[in-house]
C-alpha cells in the first residue's frame, strides 16, 4: 500500500480524508499514513506493558485497530496524537487487567504489614477527598514512589508491569518500590494516629 502524502501534511488533514473521502481506497490509505506515523510510538509504548515482544505487538495492533475503527468518532476536541495516546493507554491497561485476571495474581504482600488492621494503601484510599489523598502521597513519598503507587492503585497495574512501565532496573523493581512506599505511609499514618499503629 503506497501512500502519497508528504510528511508535512497535518494529521488533521489526513484524518479528514480518512473519514470523509468518497473513495474507500483513499480513506484507507489516508488512515494508513496517519496511523503509520505513530505506529512506532504505539509499539514502543506497548512494550512497557507486554509480556514479551509478541505480546507487545498484539497489544499495539489492537490499539491501532481500535483507533482505526473509531476514527469517525474522533471529534477533534484534542490533537490526534493525544487521542491516539489515550486509546493506546486504555488498550494497554485493559490488556494488563485481562492478563492479571487470567493469572488471578494476588496483590503482593509485605509480611510486616499483614494482619494488623487496614494496610497503608487502604488507609490512603479511604481518604475521601482525592486532593487530600494526593497531598499525602506528595508529602510522604518521593517522585518514583508516588508514580509506582499511582500506577498500582490508580491504574491497577501489577508490580511486574510497573517495573517495565517505569523502566526500573533494580532487582526488586516496582515490588521493592511499593514496599518502601507502604512502609513510609504506615509510618506517616502511625504518626497521624498519635501512636495507634497498624504496623508492629
Partner 1 sequence: MSHECVTPERLDSWLALPAEDPRRQELEACPRCRVLLASYAEFLDGPKDRDPELLKFLNAPARKAVRPWRRWQRPLAAAAAVLIVAVGLSRWDFGEPPRPSIQRGGEASPSFAAEAVAEEDSLLFSWEPVAEADHYVLVIFNEDLSERMRFPAEAAMELTVEMAEIGQPGQAFAWRVLALADSDEIESSALSFMQLP
Q: Where does this chain bind partner 1 (CB under 8 A)?
A: 1, 24-25, 28, 31-32, 35-37, 39-45, 57, 60-62, 64-65, 68-69, 77-79, 81-83, 85-86, 88-89, 94-95, 98, 130-131, 134, 137-138, 143, 146-147, 149-151, 154
Residue 156 CB, nearest approach to partner 1 (Å)? 13
Q: Distance (Å, rounded) from C-alpha 83 to C-alpha 112?
A: 43
Residue 160 CB, nearest approach to partner 1 (Å)? 18
Residue 119 CB, nearest approach to partner 1 (Å)? 19
Residue 29 CB, nearest approach to partner 1 (Å)? 8
Query: 143 is written with which cell numbers?
Result: 517522585
Residue 147 CB, nearest approach to partner 1 (Å)? 5
Residue 88 CB, nearest approach to partner 1 (Å)? 7
- Is the Cβ–Cβ distance between 83 and 74 less than 8 Å? yes
Query: 15 is written with which cell numbers?
Result: 484524518
Using the minimum distance from each CB to partner 1, give the nearer residue, 28 or 197.
28
Q: Distance (Å, rounded) from C-alpha 173 to C-alpha 120?
A: 20
Q: Distance (Å, rounded) from C-alpha 57 to C-alpha 54?
A: 5
CA 117-119-125 angle, to 5 degrees, is 120
> Counting Cβ atoms within 10 Å, is residue 97 exposed (0-12), middle (13-18) or buried (19+)?
middle
> Under the phi-then-psi rule, with left for phi > 0, alpha for psi from -120 to 50, and beta for the rest, what region is 195?
left
Q: What is the largest CA-CA distance in the chain?
A: 72
Using the minimum distance from each CB to partner 1, give the nearer residue, 69 or 109.
69
Using the minimum distance from each CB to partner 1, give the nearer residue, 39 or 198.
39
Using the minimum distance from each CB to partner 1, give the nearer residue, 65 or 192.
65
Using the minimum distance from each CB to partner 1, give the nearer residue, 61 or 197.
61
- Is the Cβ–Cβ distance between 118 and 198 less than 8 Å? yes
Q: Give 156's contacts (C-beta < 8 A, 6+ positions apart).
A: 93, 96, 97, 100
Using the minimum distance from each CB to partner 1, give the nearer residue, 44 or 122.
44
Amino acid at each position: 500500500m503506497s501512500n502519497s502524502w508528504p510528511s508535512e501534511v497535518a494529521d488533521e488533514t489526513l484524518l479528514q480524508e480518512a473519514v470523509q473521502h468518497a473513495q474507500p481506497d483513499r480513506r484507507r490509505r489516508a488512515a494508513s499514513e496517519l496511523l503509520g506515523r505513530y505506529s512506532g510510538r504505539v509499539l514502543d509504548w506497548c512494550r512497557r506493558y507486554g509480556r514479551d515482544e509478541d505480546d507487545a505487538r498484539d497489544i499495539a495492533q489492537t490499539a491501532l485497530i481500535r483507533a482505526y475503527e473509531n476514527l469517525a468518532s474522533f471529534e477533534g476536541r484534542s490533537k490526534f496524537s493525544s487521542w491516539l495516546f489515550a486509546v493506546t493507554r486504555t488498550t494497554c491497561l485493559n490488556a494488563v487487567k485481562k492478563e492479571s485476571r487470567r493469572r488471578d495474581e494476588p496483590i503482593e504482600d509485605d509480611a510486616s504489614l499483614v494482619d494488623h488492621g487496614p494496610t497503608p494503601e487502604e488507609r490512603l484510599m479511604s481518604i475521601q477527598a482525592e486532593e487530600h489523598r494526593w497531598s499525602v502521597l506528595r508529602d510522604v513519598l518521593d517522585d518514583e514512589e508516588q508514580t509506582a503507587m499511582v500506577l498500582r492503585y490508580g491504574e491497577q497495574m501489577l508490580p511486574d508491569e510497573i517495573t517495565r512501565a517505569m523502566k526500573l532496573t533494580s532487582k526488586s523493581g516496582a515490588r521493592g518500590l511499593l514496599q518502601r512506599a507502604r512502609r513510609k505511609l504506615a509510618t506517616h499514618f502511625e504518626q497521624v494516629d498519635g501512636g495507634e499503629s497498624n504496623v508492629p
